[in-house]
Amino acid sequence: MGKTLDEIARQLKDCGKKVQLIYAFNGTGKTRLSRAFKNLVAPKNESDEEETGLAGKRILYYNAFTEDLFYWDNDLDNDTNLKLKIHPNIFTDWIFAEQGQERNVISNFQTYVNNEALTPEFNEDFSEVIFSLKRGNDQDAENIKISKGEESNFVWSVFYSLLEQVVEVLNIPEESDRETDKLNQLEYIFIDDPVTSLDDNHLIQMAVNLAGIIRKNESDLKFIITTHSPVFYNVLYNELQIAKEARKKQGKKAGYMLEKNEDGSYELDTKFGDSNKSFSYHHYLIGIIKRAIEENKIEKYHFTLLRNLYEKAANFLGYKHWSDLLPEDKEVYAARIMNFYSHRTLLNDEVREPTEPEKQTVKLLFNHLIDNAKFWKEPD
Whole-angstrom distance, CA of residue 62 vs CA of residue 69: 11
Whole-angstrom distance, CA of residue 179 vs CA of residue 372: 59
Topology adopted by domain 5-269:
Rossmann fold (3.40.50)
Highest mean pLDDT among 97-106, 216-225, 279-288: 216-225
Share of the chain above pLDDT 90, in %: 31
Return the higher-pLDDT residue of 368 and 230: 368
Return the higher-pLDDT residue of 372 and 100: 100
pLDDT the model gives residue 339: 59
Q: For the ranges 100-109, 186-195, 345-354, which has the lowest average pLDDT?
A: 345-354
Average pLDDT of the residues in 155-179: 93
What is the overall mean pLDDT for the chain? Answer: 82
pLDDT the model gives residue 376: 56
Average pLDDT of the residues in 120-128: 92
Whole-angstrom distance, CA of residue 268 vs CA of residue 250: 18
Whole-angstrom distance, CA of residue 212 vs CA of residue 100: 22
Contacts of 329 (CB under 8 A, 6+ apart): none
Average pLDDT of the residues in 193-215: 83
Q: Is the pLDDT of residue 50 over 60?
A: no
Whole-angstrom distance, CA of residue 214 vs CA of residue 240: 8
Contacts of 104 (CB under 8 A, 6+ apart): 161, 164
At 152, the pLDDT band (50, 70, 90 cuts) reads confident
**Exposed (0-12), middle (13-18) or buried (19+): which is 47, by Cβ within 10 Å?**
middle
Average pLDDT of the residues in 139-151: 85
At 26, the pLDDT band (50, 70, 90 cuts) reads confident
pLDDT the model gives residue 313: 83
Q: What is the DSSP string of 314-341?
A: HHHHT-SSGGGGS-SSHHHHHHHHHHHH
In the chain, alpha helices (H) = 5-15, 30-41, 44-47, 49-52, 64-67, 90-92, 102-113, 148-170, 200-216, 230-239, 243-246, 275-278, 281-294, 301-317, 330-341, 356-372
Contacts of 335 (CB under 8 A, 6+ apart): none
Question: How big is the chain, counted in residues?
Answer: 380
Return the higher-pLDDT residue of 168 and 56: 168
Q: Edge to edge, what strands does the sheet with 222-227 contain?
A: 59-62, 188-192, 222-227, 19-23, 253-260, 266-270
Pairing verdict, β 266-270 and 253-260: antiparallel
Q: Which amino acid is located at 64 in the chain?
A: A
Whole-angstrom distance, CA of residue 198 vs CA of residue 347: 14
DSSP code of residue 181 = S
Contacts of 69 (CB under 8 A, 6+ apart): 86, 87, 89, 92
pLDDT the model gives residue 10: 97
Which residue, 325, 334, 343, 330, is CA-closest to 282? 325
The pTM score is 0.71
Each residue's pLDDT tens digit, 263-320: 889 999 888 766 655 556 677 678 888 888 998 888 877 887 788 788 878 877 888 8
**What phi and psi values does residue 254 have, to the nearest 5 degrees?**
-155, 150
Residues of the chain with CATH 3.40.50.300: 5-269
Q: Is the pLDDT of residue 188 over 90?
A: yes
Which residue, 339, 332, 333, 324, is CA-closest to 363? 333
Each residue's pLDDT tens digit, 320-370: 888 888 888 777 777 766 655 444 333 333 445 678 888 898 899 899 988
pLDDT the model gives residue 346: 38
Beta carbons within 10 angstroms of residue 258's beta carbon: 19
The answer to whether the CB of 299 falls within 8 A of the CB of 38 is no
Whole-angstrom distance, CA of residue 288 vs CA of residue 283: 9
pLDDT the model gives residue 249: 66
